[in-house]
Amino acid sequence: MVDRKVAYSPVDIAAAESLVVENLSRGNDHPAFSLTVVAGSCVAISGPSGSGKSTLLRLIADLDPGTGTARVGDLKRETIPANQWRRLVTYVAADSGWWTSPVSAHMSDPDAAQHLLAELGMSETLMKATPENISSGERQRLALVRALVQRPRFLLLDEPTSALDPESTLKVEKLLMRVKREGTGLLVVSHDPAQIARIADRRYMLSHAGLAEVTP
């Protein structure tokens, strides 16, 4: 019997291609950012409010205009349609948008979504819910599920547990570590030093001066 909980094809992490960001910027008078996220690894970004963490993720996902480039291996963001890039490199906002009802209408693979809900300790009845009638924490986890069932190669996560209690936060982190082991690359914005210590392989600090890697 196939374990549907694992909704990912096997990935040879050693040979997998990295997400490479090169001189990405909002334009003149704004800092340029460069970093690499290796497939099957987690990179965390922290920094003060207003320093541009969310903007950086949106630039990578091609949701905001800017200069510079991002690529996965030799595949440049600018060479493929935006919707294809966003399925490969998927951005999940801290408060994601929901444009129809029920929740299941947003899930490209409802069966896989139900297995992920169980992994997060959430009821499958949420698939029938109206997004406006569920809590912010439920919407936040459902947005993660919505992204994961598309099987992205890289996830850009903006404060993925900001609306969650400690128990739910640990369940999300456990899920993220599972998909990381299966080859998905993670770029996570977090204000929580303890969370960064638990999940990150590398860490960057973002300030108005730019992006700097933090070494132990």
- From CA 173, how far away is CA 17, in angstroms rounded? 23
Confidence of residue 24 (pLDDT cuts 50, 70, 90): very high
Per-residue pLDDT reduced to its tens digit, 184-214:
999 999 999 999 999 999 999 998 778 999 9
Strands 33-37 and 67-72: unpaired
Q: What is the pTM for the complete model shown?
A: 0.90
Three-state SS at 132:
helix
Burial of 2 per CB tally in 10 Å (0-12, 13-18, 19+): exposed
∠ CA 170-173-179, rounded to 5°: 145
DSSP element (H, E) containing 186: strand 185-189
CATH code for 19-96+152-214?
A: 3.40.50.300
Mean pLDDT to the nearest integer, 115-142: 96
Kindly report which listed range (25-29, 145-149, 173-177, 211-215) carries the lowest average pLDDT score: 25-29
In 61-153, beta strands by DSSP E = 67-72, 75-76, 89-92
